[in-house]
Structure 1
Amino acid sequence: MSFLRRASTTALRNIRSRAAGPKESFWADGKHEPTGYLFNETPPPPGQSRKWESWEAPWYLCFGASTVLLAVGLPSRPDTSMVSWAHKQAEKELAEEFAD
């Protein structure tokens, strides 16, 4: 094995060992085996409802409010396009021309 190959292999091994960090994610709370359920969340027992997490209510509220704002606000905005202005102007000029 050449000197450069040995040096690069050793350097890569040192970098990998120092920069690898922890084997698990910072946010992970342990090992999770797949259960086959969506988001690995087991369903509640029969007769009980699922408890919401702390982020769900504000998320649904903001999502609903933005949907209503877009559904109501976008169709009711004023028409300020240049094409509609030119169409109105042309109709006005045609009306004046035929009125004379």
Structure 2
Amino acid sequence: LANVRATGALILERLNALRPSLRCVADVRGVGLMIGVEIVDSEGRPSSELTNFLAHRAMDFGLVIRTSRYGQGNVLKIRPPLILTIDEAHLICDRFEALLRTHGH
């Protein structure tokens, strides 16, 4: 479990650091390697449309990301395997950032 805590904390830290520069990210939250990124439109409203678009485009960046089916449907769910390494966690963050900077407007 120590690895899960360490890699999860790293991902949360890296994704939270993106919030000021990406208007589409309203919140990043999670426990261990169960991470949610709340997506909003340019006016700050929850956007299931943008969330679904980003989840679909994530495959182009080598990511498999699901969306929430509950609430307002505007949360991207990142659920990597529990054996994730620190290097792989950085790779996920790099690719996720590229996805949001490319399509998260």
Question: TM-score, normalized by length of structure 1?
Answer: 0.21
Structure holding more strand per residue: 2
Higher relative contact order (CA 8 A, sep 6+): 2
Query: What TM-score, normalized to structure 2?
Result: 0.20
